[in-house]
Amino acid sequence: MAELVQRQDRTANNLANANTVGYRRDRAFTEVLRERLDAEGAPQSDRRTVGWADLTPGALEPTGNPLDVALEGEGLFVVAGEDGTVRYTRAGRFLMDATGQLRTSSGLAVQGQNGPIQLPPGGPITIGETGEVQVAGQPVDTLQIVTFEDPAALRRFDDTAFTANAEPVALDAPVVRQGFIEGSNVDPIREMTDMIAHVRLYEAQQKVIQTTDGVLGQVTRDLGKF
């Protein structure tokens, strides 16, 4: 039942972010490590739940904003917080701050091959398919785009950004679409179906416990008569 509560929380979070730009659906797998009987003959089970982000691409939506970019296929943008902590995201809704630095909508600094991307004033901004950033036709930097061999290495930091406990691999041939954003990869119908299934299974488990408790109570009362 505790495991079902965790699954329900995860499903509810997925539904809440069904319209969040760049959100990756949370998934989980429960592994049974050891099943045994304890000293009183009651069944015991050691379990471990492993969560990971589903990196399946979401639908691309045109915006016409030159600072909106989306990745077609695999890959993650590299961004960093004020403390220098590196994070990874698919949310490409970028903006330019007052100093000309390229940032995510949550304020994280977008990283290029030479560090945080600094845009000079003046001229149209162009971001090519390979991630090259140009201002007025002059190259500025190239978006740093990476991937991971094992998606389970990613740890969710917030709704759209991740940290990682493994080294990223540079993506050789990223496909960047300027003027697009990538929507969430959550399927609301699937999540609602899972939510209903979790509730029904939880109720079934609850009834089993109530029935067992009732049987044990009756046995205790019957034994007390002798």
Q: Any idea where the domains of the chain sit in the sequence?
A: 1-18+186-226, 60-182
Digit-coded pLDDT (tens) for 34-48:
777 777 777 777 766
Q: Which two tokens stand for residue 176?
A: 């960047």
What pLDDT is stored for residue 206 in this prediction? 86
What pLDDT is stored for residue 7 in this prediction? 85
Digit-coded pLDDT (tens) for 7-29:
888 899 999 999 999 999 988 76
Calculate ∠ Cα 122-124-126, nearest 5°. Answer: 130
What pLDDT is stored for residue 226 in this prediction? 62
Q: With CA atoms as reference, report the closest residue to 143 among 188, 179, 181, 175.
A: 175
Phi/psi at 28 (5° precision): -150, 155
Calculate ∠ Cα 169-62-52, nearest 5°. Answer: 35
Q: Assess whether pLDDT exceeds 90 at residue 150.
A: no
Q: How confident is the model at residue 141 (pLDDT cuts 50, 70, 90)?
A: very high
Q: How confident is the model at residue 33 (pLDDT cuts 50, 70, 90)?
A: low
| pTM of model > 0.95 | no
